[in-house]
């Protein structure tokens, strides 16, 4: 009887281990790949035609300039997708190109914190960083800050941004952290001095400048 019980226990443990491995494998498969953004540097190495080798930087408009075939748009693509796009593009000039594409350097993701904080500006986005965490990284609230109306602007695309209002005054306990918000690259956080009476849930990206000008905060 004990032997049977041990066999069942061993089977259950093995099944649990396999299930755990399956979940871990699934998590690895679904992990998002890095997407190119302006400021990233790519090294292009053509095995058969090294005279066309070059290093390019992703420009602010999202394009790179290829010596062989002009400009192509790569912002938001993975390195593998960019490789395939370059090969497809230069194939009009080169026969069966063999390209080794290397991401040499990349811009660290960041958020912008503006308004009534000690040190407004860009904050490098760390894993699991929240709005309150970014504000603390920016030196914390000033005495004039309206912590009860922290505004987060998040671009949904090139023209529209989502606007969220957070009530972060008195957030000290873990039970109150639901008032906070996990951040994404490019989020802009405004800590106002005065209460803003009318805030739309969505707004044009061009209109964010009425509240915050991220370019003025770049060091």
* pLDDT score for 168: 85
Confidence of residue 208 (pLDDT cuts 50, 70, 90): confident
The residue with greater pLDDT, 195 or 75, is: 75
Give the Cβ contact number of residue 203 at 10 Å: 16
Q: How confident is the model at residue 44 (pLDDT cuts 50, 70, 90)?
A: very high
Q: Regarding beta strands 63-66 and 54-57, do their DSSP bridges make them parallel or antiparallel, or are they unpaired? A: unpaired
Per the document, the length of the chain is 219
Q: How far apart are CA 112 and CA 120, in angstroms?
A: 8
Percent of the chain with pLDDT over 70: 78
Cα–Cα distance measured from residue 169 to residue 61, given in angstroms and rounded to the nearest whole number: 38
Residue 189 banded pLDDT, cuts 50, 70, 90:
very high
Query: Which one, of 90, 76, 93, lies nearest residue 34 by Cα?
Result: 76
**What domains sit in the chain, N to C, each tagged with a CATH number?**
41-105 (3.30.1950.10), 110-217 (3.10.560.10)
| Locus of tokens 């490098």 | 124
23 pLDDT tier (thresholds 50, 70, 90):
very low
Instruction: Give the pLDDT band (50/70/90) at residue 176.
Output: low
Dihedral over alpha carbons 198, 145, 120, 171 (to 10 degrees): -100
Q: What is the pTM of this model?
A: 0.59
In sequence order, the β-bridge partners of residue 70 are 66
Which residues are registered as beta bridge partners of 191? 115
Q: 69-75: which pairs have CB atoms within 8 A and are 24 or more residues apart?
A: 69/93, 74/36, 75/36, 75/37, 75/38
- Per the DSSP assignment, residues forming a β-bridge with 65 are 71
> For 111-129, what is the mean pLDDT?
90
Task: Name the strands in the sheet holding 54-57, side by side, starting at the edge strand that comes first in the sequence.
Answer: 54-57, 41-46, 99-105
CA distance 40 to 58: 5
Kindly state the average pLDDT of the residues 215-219: 52
Contact partners, residue 82, CB within 8 Å, separation at least 6: 36, 42, 74, 101
Beta-bridged to residue 103, according to DSSP, are: 42
- Average pLDDT of the segment spanning 116-132: 89
């Amino acid at each position: 009887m004990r032997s049977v019980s041990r066999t069942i226990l061993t089977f259950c443990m093995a099944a649990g281990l396999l299930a755990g491995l399956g979940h871990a494998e699934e998590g690895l498969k679904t992990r998002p790949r890095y997407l190119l953004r302006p400021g990233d540097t790519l090294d292009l190495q053509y095995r058969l035609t090294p005279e066309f080798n070059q290093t390019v930087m992703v420009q602010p408009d999202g394009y790179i300039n290829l010596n062989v075939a002009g400009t192509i748009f790569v912002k938001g693509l993975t390195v593998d997708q960019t490789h395939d796009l370059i090969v497809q593009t230069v194939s009009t000039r080169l026969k069966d190109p063999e390209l080794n594409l290397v991401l040499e350097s990349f811009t660290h993701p960041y958020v912008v914190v503006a308004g009534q904080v000690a040190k407004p500006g860009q904050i490098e986005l760390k894993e699991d960083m929240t709005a309150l965490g970014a504000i603390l990284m920016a030196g914390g609230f000033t005495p004039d800050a309206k912590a009860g109306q922290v505004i987060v602007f998040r671009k949904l695309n090139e023209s529209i941004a989502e606007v969220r209002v957070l009530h972060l005054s008195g957030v000290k306990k873990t039970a109150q952290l639901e008032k906070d918000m996990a951040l994404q690259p490019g989020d802009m956080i405004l800590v106002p001095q005065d209460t803003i009476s009318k805030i739309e849930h969505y707004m044009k990206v061009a209109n964010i400048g009425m509240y915050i000008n991220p370019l003025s905060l770049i060091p």
